[in-house]
Chains A and B, each alone.
With several copies, the nearest count.
Chain A
Amino acid sequence: MKRLDLVFSERELEPMLKSLEKSNVPGYTVTKHVTGRGPERVVSEDMEFTGLGANAHVIVFCEQELLGKIKENIQPLLNYYGGVAYVSEANQL
Chain B
Amino acid sequence: MDTSLILQNVLTPPILFFFLGIIAVALRSDLEIPAPLPKLFSLYLLLAIGFKGGLELQKSGLGGPVLPTVTASIIMSLVIPLICFFILRIKLDVFNSAAIAAAYGSISAVTFITAESFLENQGVPFDGFMVAALAIMESPAIIVGLLLVKLAAPKERPAGRKMRWREILHESMLNGSVYLLLGSLFIGLLTAAFNPTGVEKMQPFTGKLFYGAECFFLLDMGIVAAQRLPSLRKAGSFLIGFAVFMPIFNAFIGVFVAKLLGLSPGNALLFMVLCASASYLAVPTAMRMTVPEAKSSYYISTTLGLTFPFNIVIGIPVYMGLVNRLIPVAS
What residues of A have a CB within 8 angstroms of the CB of B227 in the complex? 44, 46
* Smallest CB separation, B286 vs chain A (Å): 9
1/0 per position for A52-72, CB-CB distance to B under 8 A? 110000000000000000000
| B292 lies within 8 A of A51 (CB) | no
Cα A90 to Cα B178 in complex, Å, equals: 43
Given A11-B288, A45-B35, A80-B160, A52:B296 Cβ within 8 A: yes
Q: Is the interface of B mostly helix, strand, loop or mixed?
A: helix
> How many residue-residue contacts, CB under 8 A, span A and B?
54
B160 adjacent to A52 (CB under 8 Å): no
Q: In the bound complex, do residue B288 and residue A52 qualify as a contact, i.e. CB atoms below 8 Å apart?
A: yes
Does B39 sit within 8 A of A, measured CB to CB? yes
**Chain B residues whose C-beta falls within 8 Å of the C-beta of A11 in the assembled complex:** 285, 288-289
User: Looking at chain B, what size class is its interface with the partner chain?
Assistant: 20 to 34
Q: Are B282 and A48 closer than 8 Å at their CB atoms? A: no
CA distance A70 to B80 in the complex (A): 44
For residue A9, which residues in chain B have a CB less than 8 angstroms away from its CB? 288
Whole-angstrom distance between the alpha carbons of A76 and B292 in the complex?
A: 13
- In the complex, what residues of B have CB within 8 A of residue A53's CB? 285, 288
Question: A52 to B161, Cβ gap below 8 A?
Answer: no
Contact B161 A51 (CB under 8 A): no
The reply to whether the CB of B85 lies closer than 8 angstroms to some CB of chain A is no
- B224 within 8 Å of A (CB atoms): yes
Whether A49 touches B292, Cβ cut-off 8 Å, given contacts A76-B160, A80-B160, A80-B161, is no
Chain A, Cβ-Cβ closest to B304 = A50
Question: Contacts A76-B160, A80-B160, A80-B292 given: A50-B284 contact, CB under 8 Å?
Answer: yes
Complex-state Cα separation, A79 to B293, whole angstroms: 12
Report A-chain residues with C-beta under 8 Å of the C-beta of B35: 33, 45, 48-49
Query: In the complex, what's the smallest C-beta–C-beta distance from A38 to chain B, in angstroms?
Result: 13
A40 to chain B: closest residue by CB: B295
B117 located at the interface, meaning its Cβ lies under 8 Å from any Cβ of chain A in the complex = no
When A46-B224, A81-B292 are in contact, do A51 and B160 touch as well, CB less than 8 Å? no
Task: Name the distance in Å between B160's Cβ and chain A's nearest Cβ.
Answer: 5
Between-chain CB contacts (< 8 Å), 13 pairs: A11-B288, A46-B38, A46-B227, A48-B35, A48-B39, A49-B220, A49-B224, A51-B175, A51-B285, A52-B285, A52-B288, A53-B285, A80-B292
The chain B residues found within 8 Å of chain A, CB to CB, are: 30, 34-36, 38-39, 42, 160-161, 175-177, 220, 223-224, 227, 280-282, 284-285, 288-289, 292, 296-297, 300, 304
